[in-house]
Amino acid sequence: MSNLPLYVCRRATDKIVVDGRLDEPTWDRAETFSLRMTNTGAEPRLRTDVRALWDDTYFYVAFHCSDNDIWANMTEHDAPLWEEEVVEVFLDPAMLGTAYFELVVNPLNVLTDVFVVNLGNRERVFQPLRGWECEGIQHAVDVDGNPSDPDSKDTSWTVEMAIPFEQLVTAPNIPPKVGDTWRGNFYRIEQNAEGDEYTAWSPTGAINYHISDAFGTIVFAE
């Protein structure tokens, strides 16, 4: 695929408390990008802004999701959260496209973390290995609304993650060095009565997030 996006991920200069509020000054250093419809590249009805930072321990990711009907039902770790409303981070530190990490969080702050083997075979394109656990990950959700009340007046929800580099074992350098490049993608699934929206940083051309050829490039910088 051509015209794949590139994200310059800057180093955090202050301590980040993972609480979903994004009120540390260091977040102002991070470039913000918006997600687009993954199948067409068009602008979605509901906006999602994403930004990322890093330090010697963590890869930090933040999603701010506009949403007038926030909901979630699943509460168990490693549940199939992608069947409901979620945000997702796919990271491929080795840049091979055949093995990558998938981290999924819903509005109730439930996490599913899997290591994916994607050989692109005809019988099964990808195989999530749920036995992998991202030990030490921090994640928090701040909700302007109530995902448990269908009658609440909802506005948005924000997800903040700190993903420990030591768990991303395919990375060539842990922690990364300035100038290192990874591949990856950032996604959201939005479901409500006005229509479902599947959005991505780097649109895949289909409602399928496991098209690794479409992953964008992440460059680690000061």
Which CA distances in Å does 188 have to 105, 108, 151?
A: 10, 15, 23
**Structural contact between residues 85 and 66, judged by C-beta atoms closer than 8 angstroms:** no
The domains located in the chain, with CATH, are: 6-221 (2.60.40.1190)
Model pTM? 0.95
Is the confidence at residue 196, as pLDDT, over 50?
yes
Q: What is the DSSP letter of 75?
A: -
Q: How confident is the model at residue 156 (pLDDT cuts 50, 70, 90)?
A: very high
Q: How confident is the model at residue 2 (pLDDT cuts 50, 70, 90)?
A: low
What is the C-alpha separation between 15 and 24, in angstroms, rounded?
8
**Structural contact between residues 64 and 156, judged by C-beta atoms closer than 8 angstroms:** yes
Q: Which of 213, 18, 175 is nearest to 96 (CA)?
A: 213
Reduced to 3 states (helix: H, G, I; strand: E, B; else coil), residue 179 is coil
Tens-place pLDDT, residues 77-128: 999 999 999 999 999 999 999 999 999 999 999 999 999 998 765 445 555 6
Tens-place pLDDT, residues 8-48: 999 999 999 999 999 999 999 999 999 999 999 999 999 99
**195 CB-contact burial (10 Å; exposed 0-12 / middle 13-18 / buried 19+):** exposed
What pLDDT sits at residue 60? 99
Beta-strand relationship, 33-34 and 36-37:
unpaired
The number of beta carbons lying within 10 Å of the beta carbon of residue 114 is: 19
What is the C-alpha separation between 86 and 191, in angstroms, rounded?
9
Cα separation of the two ends of the chain: 28
